[in-house]
Amino acid sequence: MVLLPLAEIVVRQTGAGIPGALPFEQHLTLWIAFLGAALAAREGRLLALATGNFLPEGRFRAIAAVFTGGVSAMVTTLLGRASLDLVQIEREGGIEMAAGVPVWVGQAVMPLGFALLALRLAWKSSELWAGRALAAFGIVLGLWIGGNAEAFGELPATPWLVLILASTLLGGPIFAALGGAGVFLFLSDFVPLAAIPAESYRLAVSPTLAAIPLFTLTGFLLAEGGASERLLRVFRALFGWAPGSTAVVCAVVCAFFTVFTGGSGVTILALGGVLFAALSADGYRERFSLGLLTSSGSLGLLLPPALPLILFGIVAQVPIEDLFIGGILPGLLLIALIAAWGVREGLRAGAGGTSISGKEEGGATGPGEWEGLPPVLRRLLPPGVIEMVWAVWGGKWELLLPVVVLGAFFSGYATLVETAALAALYAFVVQCLIHRDVKLGKPLLAVFRQCTVLVGGVLIILVVAMGLTSWLVDVQAAQSLVELAQDNIESKILFLLLLNVFLLLVGCLMDIFSATVVVVPLIVPLGLAFGVDPIHLGIIFVANLELGYLTPPVGLNLFLASYRFERPLLEIYRAAAPALVILGVGVLLITYVPVLTLGLLELLGKR
């Protein structure tokens, strides 16, 4: 997936192209989605609601695990049966993907992936054979329902939806909830099951979806290497003299990583230990440090080339380039608000005044630590300046990454997918060949595997959610919502306020990727009806979902921080509460001051 777009960039300079490059890249994304999801199921890392964590240990949790495993296996089996029908239809049609390769070969991973998922879900449901056998009954039930689909057209979908909802609240995977809802709603409307994987396939072969796994790989390579330490050193060298500087630096470094990894929690898990130690060493209170890192784990989702912006552009069918530009000022605003909180804490605690090595002012690094800096600079510059230059020199490759990525995309030199491949190659060269933080061979393959698991867990949600989205379109849910809103809401300001509340609830219950696929098709017509620019709506949407990561009781960042820092969940709630209020103010400013989003676009003549 990395090499094919890069080859396309090179070949295009000759005035030609690689036949079938885009279709092959799209179907590789499909394979990554399903094989990655199978790996995630094997490791118990499929995305689920955090409500399952509230179940008490013991027999009740064990019974709930068998129940959710059985229901999820049933839904997955139904989706697999539907995918097999789609593959058979395409095989009979004889349509080619490219270069003589039939489309059904690319689609074959769908029934295979669902089969592996169903088996894994049943197996992982219990440590006991009896529990696994009960969960495996879900596979049998799914096969029976798939074979008698016509009979379900006369039955209401409500009992099945209640069963799926109960499973989800008890910890069942989100993909099974969205996919199962789509299955039974379609069955109750006499729609063939193959319609669901057909919609899934339509999203999977979107021309820009491949950018998500490629940018995620970039983030994983950076996080696995020493990029965080180098960036921390750079910003400390530049701003370490100021009170609160370490807190500001932590927020900026977290935002940098989240831009590439998305709201996946990788930032908290990968960087939390290093940044928490830095804050503690500089004298920050533990509660503040926990709150800062928990909230900073989702900063950066509004900055280009953040993955939620890409996905919103795909689903809402608006220019991704405009979303990138529109998100710059709002993204910087949220970072600045958290940074201001950090400065206040620094003044209050007297923290700051550190050198780049983390020592107090005056504890300068020695000449032996300046290896790699050009000798001429070491002779001409005073020690204090040398420290700063040395830090910037050490982090120069990471600092150049945004320049390379944004330059390639906005210059028109590369498409979005090609830009993502270029970013992944750049991160590979820097981390594996220049700094050698990630060794070639097994360590590099381990990074690929970790990335595939995360990407698979996200993409499987996206592709199955398209079935539910398609049903909502068929029943004209968006039009009904528009009519309801126009009949009961007269003010655009009131509409935006209600939209904020709704999206905040969505954000604390659903991950940002599945929420995008399900919710965006409903709110885009609403926004247009009330005169909200689609780009502004997209930034409002992502900003609210970013805030949802911190919203108790089930905001994802809260659970990840509790796990990473080994602190009780209630302690994390208290620590993150100030950041929730601060970012809430930022979201309101983004919502009601549209010039923050549209100002740059107007300056560039795009509005």
Closest C-alpha to 223, from 440, 427, 457, 512? 427
Give the Cα separation of 71 and 192 in Å (integer): 21
Cβ proximity of 539 and 580 under 8 Å: no
- Is the backbone of residue 96 left (phi > 0), alpha (psi -120 to 50) or beta? beta
Q: What is the Cβ-side half-sphere exposure of residue 206, based on CA atoms within 13 angstroms?
A: 22
229 CB-contact burial (10 Å; exposed 0-12 / middle 13-18 / buried 19+): middle
The span from the CA of 325 to the CA of 104, in Å, is: 38
Rounded-to-10 torsion of CA 119, 120, 122, 127: 130
Task: Answer yes or no: is pLDDT of 7 > 60.
Answer: yes
For residue 367, pLDDT beyond 50: no
Q: For the chain, which residues make up each domain, given as ranges?
A: 22-204, 211-359+375-446, 469-603
Q: Give residues with Cβ within 8 angstroms of 436, minimum separation 6.
A: none
Rounded CA-CA distance 536/524 in Å is: 11
For the stretch 9-56, pLDDT in tens is 888 888 777 888 888 998 999 999 999 999 999 988 888 876 666 778
Q: Which of the four pLDDT bands, split at 50, 70 and 90, describes residue 508?
A: confident
CA–CA separation, 30 and 86 (whole Å): 15
Smallest CA-to-CA distance from 46 within 64, 33, 62 is with 33
DSSP E strand boundaries for 75-168: 96-98, 101-102
Give the model's confidence band at 263: pLDDT under 50 very low, under 70 low, under 90 confident, else very high. Answer: low
Q: What pLDDT band is residue 371 in, cutting at 50, 70 and 90?
A: low
Residue type, 528: L
CA distance 9 to 419: 10
* pLDDT tens by residue, 136-148: 999 999 999 988 8
Please name which of 215, 219, 220, 222 lies closest in space to residue 435, comparing C-alpha atoms. 222
CB-CB contact of 295 with 335 (8 Å): no
What angle (nearest 5°) sits at the alpha carbon of residue 126, between those of residues 124 and 130? 125
Q: What is the pLDDT averaged over residues 112-129?
A: 94
**pLDDT at position 364:** 39
Looking at residue 338, its pLDDT comes to 93
Task: Using pLDDT thresholds of 50, 70 and 90, give the confidence band for residue 241.
Answer: low
The whole model's pTM is what?
0.85
Cα–Cα distance measured from residue 262 to residue 299, given in angstroms and rounded to the nearest whole number: 9
Q: What is the pLDDT of residue 365?
A: 44
pLDDT of residue 223: 82
Q: Which residue has the tokens 């440090």?
A: 289
Please provide the average confidence, as pLDDT, over all residues in the chain.
Answer: 86
